[in-house]
A and B are shown apart, each in its own frame.
Chain A
Amino acid sequence: MELKMIFNFIFGRKRQHKTAVGALSDLQVGQRAIVRELKLDVPVAEHLMNLGFVPGLEVSVERSGPGGDPRVYRVEGTEVALRRELSRHIHVSLVGVPAFGD
């Protein structure tokens, strides 16, 4: 437990802005991010893009379903429920994280 805290203290913050790009599934409820890449098969990626998951647009985690999966995401005017198995393939970069590193 303590070791984990120390580990997080040393590496946690650093890791956060070094890898500002992460999976959509790693965001907390209420966090926002910019869609970067959809690492998915073309038809699925197309479908998601038609719903608004287009690289460059802002996505936010609106809420989590009971049990934590699926979660509801919002892009512009559209709210979409996605399972973790899908959202972990959507790469995003965080917004609202102070970028002192760069």
Chain B
Amino acid sequence: MTCHAVARPEDASINTSVRTVAVIGPPNSGKTTLYNRLTGLRQKVGNFPGVTVEHHLGTVRTIDGEEVALIDLPGIYSLNPKAEDERVAVDVLQGKMAGMPRPDAVIVVLNSNNLHTHLVLAARVIALGLPTLVLLNMADELHKQNGAVNVLALARELKTPVALVSAVTGEGLEAVSNFLSSASWAPEPLELPVMGSTRSVREWAVRVGESASYRRPATPVWTKRLDNIFLHRIWGPVIFGVVVVAVFQMIFLAGKPLQDILQSGLDATGAWVGAMLPEGMLRSLVINGVWKGTGSVLVFLPQILLLFFVIGILEDSGYLARAAVIADRTMSRVGLNGKSFIPLLSAYACAVPAIMATRTIENKRDRIATILIAPFMTCSARLPVYTMVIAAFIPERALLGPFLSSRAAAMLGLYVLGFLMAVITARLLKSTILRSKDAPFILEMPPYRWPRPASLGLRLVDRGKAFLYRAGTVILLVSILLWTATNFPLHNGQPPDIQDSLVASVGHAIEPVIRPLGFDWKIGVGLITSLAAREVIIATLGTINGIDAAVNSFDLQTALHHELTLPAAVALLVFFAFAMQCMSTLAVVRRETNSWKWPMVQFAYMTVVAYVAAYAAYHIAAHLIH
């Protein structure tokens, strides 16, 4: 593994002295499995400039020892320049993508079980005139299901090399090495009678398939049997419910302890590093700025990996598509489709992995809409704040006998509030800026397959790295800014008490704005510092009041009474239910949408909603009390 041949993940440019080969194929062609098999861990993720489409860059060594860069292009069916990801593929293949040389050759990966449909893409790619290798993937399934194809005849028809391969078993992959090391990549002019409408290309594909004596394999009998259960009128939804509960429990029950273990590990390491540094500003910056900032990112990693592990199994096995079909009816009522369900569900644990999980939604607008509403779901970081404020202000009283107490009801109410706002926002978005009449619910149902540990593992590494690199850098920056604001201006060469710091001045500055909500400057400081993570407000209020929050939460509850009246406490809860008080989420949204536009829109929208709702809550509560 050498690094000079591939670009850093942040930019898409490649060393021009290395030959590059683009890998392209329709969704469900096994392209990713093949790509992973060829490059293994020698690959990096990047975004093309200006678009949300992501690509991988990897290296592969030919038999002669030469290094070739492999570009993994998005899974697409055609080369229609109107669709964003297809336009990206066209641009790359024609050498029009900034920072990326025109590929020297192309490998087209098709599913041999679905040759006619997939040949349409092959025809379009071959017509571009680059040296092309056509791989008919999933040969193992083709043989097993009694399908057949004459590869030589197909190669004659396409006038380009063709090989029958299996990315899973490794069958026929020597064709790739041969192709990559072949010196004679002379682009020859191809005259395929295939330009024109999809329909005429499709008709051509059937003729080509016939001359290659293509026999389509039977549908695997297991897929039919499993669909009889998983899409059954009664059992389907029941199994779906069980899966959903299992996913939720897994993130909540397994993710949280792992997160806590990691947190205490980080705290311990921080203390250990701190002990080695001299007392002073440097130590404070390293420990309270850099280390805590990095730590606030790292602690999300177990949840992200867990969620991607579960979703990876659901996706690779083929169940995710069935789950989407089952959830679709309900989701369609809010203008979204079934594919948004699992990401939204996981947002109850944490919006960060949920937003990363939206990649399973192909439709861009639905994906953005899901990203924008996910942070309204009551995530686990809101719980400490809710618990603290509710415990301080709401007297414990039985509402429904032993079943529901006043405090539990308040908590439940906040969950409902977040959910309702998500639904309202979804409807609003889908009927205005993200209307997607032109992209309705069309979902290909792959056959059921055993998930493969190797590709699951690679995806976990991929997602984990992507999160740490991209989100991490933003969060580090914000953490250092926050640290600076709490530690300056210096007072006799010492960092000030928090009430004399920069952040307190900001708190005072925003006090007129938040006063209508019943908040004073101290709460204002809490609102600012909680941008790092929601629960930080507790520690901040503790610090300002000179109380160690971790040690004595009872005192902090008493102190909160000095800060807030009951209506203001209600307003604070409502504010936290709606506000985007989480820079990790913002950083991930920035990463996933590849622009600052959406995180800005989201932050502004959620803050306005939170402000208005908190204002209303304050006045309604005040009115009810008097």
The answer to whether A and B interact is yes
Q: Are B329 and A69 in contact (CB under 8 A)?
A: yes
Q: Collect the chain B residues with CB atoms within 8 Å of residue A43's CB.
A: 80, 82-83, 438-439
Choose the segment among A8-16, A44-52, A92-100 that binds chain B (4+ C-beta atoms closer than 8 Å).
A44-52
- Cβ < 8 Å to A, chain B residues 432-453: 437-445
- Cβ < 8 Å to A, chain B residues 89-136: 111, 113-117, 120-121
The complex places the Cα of A82 from the Cα of B237 at a distance, in Å, of: 18
Q: Is B486 an interface residue (CB 8 A)?
A: no
The complex places the Cα of A67 from the Cα of B26 at a distance, in Å, of: 30
If A48-B442, A50-B78, A81-B443 touch, does A65 touch B198 (CB 8 Å cutoff)? no
Query: Which of B237, B329, B332 counts the most chain A CB atoms within 10 A?
Result: B329
Q: Are B117 and A50 in contact (CB under 8 A)?
A: yes
Choose the segment among B41-49, B163-171, B227-235, B400-408 that binds chain A (4+ C-beta atoms closer than 8 Å).
B227-235
Q: Is B626 an interface residue (CB 8 A)?
A: no
The complex places the Cα of A87 from the Cα of B325 at a distance, in Å, of: 15
Q: Are A83 and B77 in contact (CB under 8 A)?
A: no
Q: Are B231 and A65 in contact (CB under 8 A)?
A: yes
Q: Collect the chain B residues with CB atoms within 8 Å of residue A22's CB.
A: none
The residue from A46, A57, A69, A79 contacting B445, defined by CB atoms under 8 A apart: A79
Within the complex, the shortest CB–CB distance from B24 to chain A, in Å, comes to 14
Q: Are A86 and B328 in contact (CB under 8 A)?
A: no
The complex places the Cα of A47 from the Cα of B438 at a distance, in Å, of: 11
Q: What 1/0 mask marks residues of chain B from 326 to 364 whose CB sits below 8 Å from any chain A CB?
A: 101100100000000000000000000000000000000
The residue from A63, A66, A76, A78 contacting B444, defined by CB atoms under 8 A apart: A78
Who on chain B is nearest to A89 by CB?
B440
- Cβ < 8 Å to A, chain B residues 155-208: 198-199, 202-203
Q: Are A63 and B116 in contact (CB under 8 A)?
A: no
Within the complex, the shortest CB–CB distance from B86 to chain A, in Å, comes to 10
If A46-B78, A46-B198, A67-B329 touch, does A51 touch B231 (CB 8 Å cutoff)? no
If A49-B198, A54-B198 touch, does A65 touch B117 (CB 8 Å cutoff)? no
Query: Which of A50, A62, A74 counts the most chain B CB atoms within 10 A?
Result: A50
The residue from B113, B203, B219, B442 contacting A47, defined by CB atoms under 8 A apart: B442
Q: Is B19 an interface residue (CB 8 A)?
A: no
Q: Is A21 an interface residue (CB 8 A)?
A: no
The residue from A46, A51, A78 contacting B80, defined by CB atoms under 8 A apart: A46
The complex places the Cα of A86 from the Cα of B439 at a distance, in Å, of: 10
Q: Are A44 and B202 in contact (CB under 8 A)?
A: no
The complex places the Cα of A8 from the Cα of B177 at a distance, in Å, of: 65
Who on chain B is nearest to A67 by CB?
B329
Q: Are B444 and A51 in contact (CB under 8 A)?
A: yes
Q: Collect the chain B residues with CB atoms within 8 Å of residue A67's CB.
A: 329
Q: Are A76 and B231 in contact (CB under 8 A)?
A: no
The complex places the Cα of A44 from the Cα of B437 at a distance, in Å, of: 10
Q: Are B231 and A41 in contact (CB under 8 A)?
A: no
Q: Collect the chain B residues with CB atoms within 8 Å of residue A46's CB.
A: 78, 80, 198
The complex places the Cα of A48 from the Cα of B444 at a distance, in Å, of: 10
Q: Are B328 and A51 in contact (CB under 8 A)?
A: no
Q: Are A86 and B202 in contact (CB under 8 A)?
A: no
Q: Are A52 and B117 in contact (CB under 8 A)?
A: yes
Q: Are A66 and B199 in contact (CB under 8 A)?
A: no
Q: Are A76 and B83 in contact (CB under 8 A)?
A: no
Within the complex, the shortest CB–CB distance from A45 to chain B, in Å, comes to 8
Who on chain B is nearest to A52 by CB?
B117
The complex places the Cα of A59 from the Cα of B77 at a distance, in Å, of: 19
If A54-B199, A66-B233, A72-B445 touch, does A81 touch B114 (CB 8 Å cutoff)? no
Q: Collect the chain A residues with CB atoms within 8 Å of residue B219's CB.
A: 74, 77
The complex places the Cα of A85 from the Cα of B232 at a distance, in Å, of: 22
Q: Are A70 and B325 in contact (CB under 8 A)?
A: yes
- Cβ < 8 Å to B, chain A residues 11-55: 41, 43-44, 46-52, 54-55
If A44-B440, A46-B198, A48-B442 touch, does A81 touch B321 (CB 8 Å cutoff)? yes
Who on chain A is nearest to B26 by CB?
A50
Q: Are A85 and B325 in contact (CB under 8 A)?
A: no
The count of chain B contact residues (Cβ–Cβ below 8 Å) is 45
Q: Are A49 and B442 in contact (CB under 8 A)?
A: no
The complex places the Cα of A54 from the Cα of B197 at a distance, in Å, of: 11
Q: Are B199 and A55 in contact (CB under 8 A)?
A: yes
The complex places the Cα of A62 from the Cα of B115 at a distance, in Å, of: 20
The residue from A51, A66, A69, A76 contacting B77, defined by CB atoms under 8 A apart: A51
Q: Is B217 an interface residue (CB 8 A)?
A: yes
Q: Are B440 and A80 in contact (CB under 8 A)?
A: no
Q: Collect the chain B residues with CB atoms within 8 Å of residue A49's CB.
A: 198-199, 202
If A44-B438, A50-B120, A65-B325 touch, does A80 touch B444 (CB 8 Å cutoff)? yes
Q: Are B444 and A83 in contact (CB under 8 A)?
A: no
Q: Collect the chain A residues with CB atoms within 8 Å of residue B203's CB.
A: 54, 56
Q: Collect the chain B residues with CB atoms within 8 Å of residue A82's CB.
A: 441-443
Q: Collect the chain B residues with CB atoms within 8 Å of residue A74's CB.
A: 219
The residue from A48, A50, A55, A63 contacting B227, defined by CB atoms under 8 A apart: A63
The residue from B78, B326, B442 contacting A65, defined by CB atoms under 8 A apart: B326
The complex places the Cα of A50 from the Cα of B233 at a distance, in Å, of: 30
Within the complex, the shortest CB–CB distance from A53 to chain B, in Å, comes to 9
If A72-B231, A78-B117 touch, does A41 touch B438 (CB 8 Å cutoff)? yes
Within the complex, the shortest CB–CB distance from A26 to chain B, in Å, comes to 18
Within the complex, the shortest CB–CB distance from B315 to chain A, in Å, comes to 15
The complex places the Cα of A72 from the Cα of B318 at a distance, in Å, of: 14
The complex places the Cα of A65 from the Cα of B441 at a distance, in Å, of: 14
The complex places the Cα of A85 from the Cα of B443 at a distance, in Å, of: 14
Q: Is B496 an interface residue (CB 8 A)?
A: no
Q: Is B40 an interface residue (CB 8 A)?
A: no
Q: Are A83 and B116 in contact (CB under 8 A)?
A: no
Within the complex, the shortest CB–CB distance from A63 to chain B, in Å, comes to 6
The complex places the Cα of A65 from the Cα of B237 at a distance, in Å, of: 10
List 6 A-B pairs, Cβ < 8 Å. A41-B437, A43-B80, A46-B198, A74-B219, A76-B114, A79-B445
Closest 9 interchain pairs by CB?
A50-B77, A77-B114, A79-B445, A49-B198, A81-B443, A54-B202, A65-B325, A52-B117, A66-B236
B→A interface (CB under 8 Å): 26, 77-78, 80, 82-83, 111, 113-117, 120-121, 198-199, 202-203, 216-217, 219, 227-228, 231-234, 236-237, 321, 324-326, 328-329, 332, 437-445
Q: A51-B117, A70-B441 are in contact. List 7 more A-B contacts (CB 8 A).
A: A46-B78, A63-B227, A65-B326, A65-B328, A78-B114, A79-B445, A81-B444
A→B interface (CB under 8 Å): 41, 43-44, 46-52, 54-57, 62-63, 65-67, 69-70, 72, 74-83, 85-86
